[in-house]
Structures are given as C-alpha cells and as structure tokens.
Amino acid sequence: MLKKGFTLVELVIVILILGLVLAIAIPTVSSIMNKSKNNSYCTQIDIFKTATKDYVQDDRDKTVSNITWSDNTTCINLGELSNRGYINLPIKNPKTNENFEPSFCITVDKSNKKAYKYSDPDSFCN
C-alpha cells in the first residue's frame, strides 16, 4: 500500500525556506515602517511650521504684537497656536504614538528680514 504525504525532510526544508523568507522580509518591512513614521513626523512638523508662519504673519499685521522676540528669535508653541485657532490639539506624534505636548515649539529666527527661518526643536526635518 502506498502512503501519500510529505516526508520529514521535505517538511523541514519547507520550514527552513519559510524561515529564510521571514528573516529577509521582517527587517525590510520594519525599515519601511520607520521611514513612513519619519515621513509622517516631518509632515506634521511642516504643518506646525505653516501654522507658525501664518501666526507670525498675522501678528506682523497688528499694531500691538502678541509675540515676544529675544535677539531676533522666538519660540511659538503648539499651545499658543491652538489657543489662537491655527491648529487643533491633540495631535499624535507618529514617531512615539503619543500626543505632541502643547509646549512643543517651532523656533522663528528673523535675523534675515526678507526670509524668516522656522525650525523644529530637534532639527530632524530641517
């Protein structure tokens, strides 16, 4: 009588091949996910910078400024942007999966009067 099925050697070879495929795929997928999180983070930072630019421009148009400058720089935090209606909190940080703190700030440098410079605290996306 003939037995139909796989031998132990055939099953071990299949398991080894699957293990090899997983060993290659997992780091690749992990790398893609990290790049995606970093891209999402930089997109959030760009949104914060745009909101800060709008806030600074609107403030420049006022006769009485709400912004305190020190040596041509200031730090505009997310709490201030939220209070003034430029963003809605809470906003999730894609890198940490936690909410951005309201104290997270964008630094504005107006040393060059023609083009203000906006930067994030860790300069990751500059």
Q: Report helix, strand or coil for 50.
A: helix
- pTM (two decimals): 0.78
Tell me if 5 is assigned to some domain. no
Tell me if 43 is assigned to some domain. yes
- Please list the pLDDT of the chain residue by residue as tens digits (126 residues): 567 888 899 999 999 999 999 999 999 999 999 999 999 999 999 999 999 999 999 988 887 788 888 999 999 999 999 999 999 999 999 989 999 999 999 999 999 878 889 998 877 776
The count of domains in the chain is 1
Domain residues for 84?
28-119
Question: How would you classify the pairing of strands 117-119 and 73-77?
Answer: unpaired
